[in-house]
A and B are shown apart, each in its own frame.
Chain A
Amino acid sequence: MGTYIARHLQVLFATLGDLRRTPMSTINTLLIIAITLLLPCLLYVTVKSAQTLSDSWEGRPQISIFLKKEISDDTATLIFEEVKLHPSIELAEFVTPEQALAEFKVLSKGEANLEQELAFLGENPLPPSIVVMPDKASAKSEKLIALKDELSQFDGIESVRLDLDWTDRFNAMLLVFSRVAMLLSGLLALGLILIVGNTIKLLIFNRRHEIEITKLVGGTDTFVRRPFLYYGTLFGLLGSIISLGLLLGAASLVAQPLNQLAELYQSNGLIHQVTALEMLAVVLVGSLLGWLAARWSVAQHLRDIQPK
């Protein structure tokens, strides 16, 4: 066991030494890996920040129920009571035609034309209505639509208007964006494997002679491929650490103007602070991808190199 660990450490240090001996190509490779990893990280931080933003609004949609104009006040009250008792509804408020007209007048103040037209009509054209706020569980878009359909069936109800307000639209867009981000991240991970795999392939061909001789003196496949697996893992590890550095740098660059913006909207901490756990995850994923790339490359190319 001790020898086994010593052997691994020896390969690790030998590989680190090899990386140091060719600084330019090492830095090149590491930067390519870092930038490839940086893109998914940036997308993640953006999605996370946007989610924090949308959570902070805590907005809940409203449903406006317009009753038929011809129904009596009693029927209207009956409908109101029924709506109020609906299990998905937290709050319901009855708006009489008079209240609606008053509100309308306040809102359209200064617009002389509208007032003239109202006066011309002679009577109040607005129907009685109920403004409803669904409970938290029903505040999701699909449930809201179901609730809306259900309410539309009621006798005496003319129409139901659902205001999926813009927080919902924002959340829906965010969902699309995060899916696209995930897809893009998957593609970039694949790209990373190809980049590292290709680098390992070049290393294998550069060390062809050494591999042949090692096999000649009885080196097993496991022994021969070990340094290349270390190469891949180290590329991934170091590349992801550089990537984190770039990410934190980019975040601090954006944070200041973004926080100024947030202050204007009486909000705070718009940008997602990357946690230690997330950093660890990036490093682990980076190393794992590097290792996978090396495995893939080694499986493709090492078998072909046999002593002659």
Chain B
Amino acid sequence: MIKLSHVSKRYPNGHEALKDVSFDLAAGEMAFLAGHSGAGKSTLFKLITRIEKPTSGQIIVDNQNLSRMRSSKVPALRREIGVIFQDHKLLFDRSVFDNVALPLIVIGLPHDEIQKRVRAALGKVGLSGKEKQYPVTLSGGEQQRVGIARAVINRPNILLADEPTGNLDEALSDEIIDIFADFNQVGVTVLIATHDLRQVERLNKRTIHLVQGQLVENAISSGKSEVE
């Protein structure tokens, strides 16, 4: 589903965020992307959602080569990928309903269909009945779940989550990671960037380590590790 071959990203200031990274995430797979802050996790997500372009290498998402993708096709790509951001990226002057509905409004779904799906998504993340509230009135964990509801509302094939448990307590973190696991159960490809090793151990999934922009892959379940 997501395939990177020899991807490097160097910023104009000379900082090399990713160095020759290659990995392949199969459809329906769930993996963690681990590494310290500054290891290149966010850069990787930006490349996959084509917010940025790699300096070299090839990225293929759902059989589409992002290097050759015209900018007019980018919106269609982003509709296939649900992204959860560390800073939530919510609109604070809009209600919870409007925030979650945005990906559906963008594709022009009829209003009653939007209403149905927003209710379902909010129910799924445990925020039923909070449609009319504004994000500021919600706690950090609730805001994070609004972001998740928005990411999944369009039933994407891929979910990317950047530090979704960043500043949540353990119980809340478990709850949120379990929501992702649930989506993975129904066939969604999930990639979670985190430095929360507790979650990595708890779920026992494939883990891709990034160390200073270079890839170190561990398959925790089998205990072996490969170094590239």
Contact = CB atoms under 8 A, between A and B. Distances in A.
A308 B43 CA distance: 10
Contact of B91 (A3, A213, A218, A306): A213
Given A6-B111, A210-B91, A213-B91, A219 B49 contact: no
Contacts of A6: 110-111
Given A209-B91, A219-B75, A214 B110 contact: no
A213 B89 CA distance: 7
Contacts of B106: 214, 217-220, 223
B98 to A, nearest CB: 10
B122 interface: no
Contacts of A306: 51
A180 B223 CA distance: 86
B108 A218 contact: no
A125 interface: no
A303 to B, nearest CB: 9
Contact of B102 (A3, A209, A214): A214
B178 to A, nearest CB: 24
B83 interface: yes
A4 B108 contact: yes
Interface residues of B, number: 23
Given A306-B51, A308-B51, A217 B103 contact: yes
Contacts of A10: 105, 111
Nearest to A212: B89
Interface residues of A, number: 21
B79 interface: yes
Contacts of A308: 51
B149 to A, nearest CB: 12
B202 to A, nearest CB: 29
A34 B156 CA distance: 48
Contacts of B145: none
A127 to B, nearest CB: 85
Interface in A1-48: 3-4, 6-7, 10
A216 interface: yes
Interface in A217-240: 217-221, 223
A307 B102 contact: no
Contacts of A4: 108
Contacts of B109: 3
A308 B110 CA distance: 30
A141 to B, nearest CB: 59
B78 A217 contact: yes
A6 to B, nearest CB: 7
A252 B154 CA distance: 59
A213 B87 CA distance: 12
Given A217-B103, A308-B51, A3 B108 contact: yes
Contacts of B49: 216, 307
B102 A213 contact: yes
A190 B56 CA distance: 46
Contacts of B72: 220-221
B76 interface: yes
A7 B113 CA distance: 14
B107 interface: yes
A223 B83 CA distance: 20
Interface string B84-101: 000001110000000000
B68 to A, nearest CB: 19
A218 B110 contact: no
Given A4-B108, A6-B111, A307-B51, A217 B102 contact: yes
8 contacts: A3-B110, A7-B108, A10-B111, A210-B91, A214-B106, A216-B49, A216-B51, A217-B154
Given A4-B108, A212-B89, A308-B51, 6 more contacts: A216-B51, A216-B83, A217-B79, A217-B106, A218-B75, A220-B72
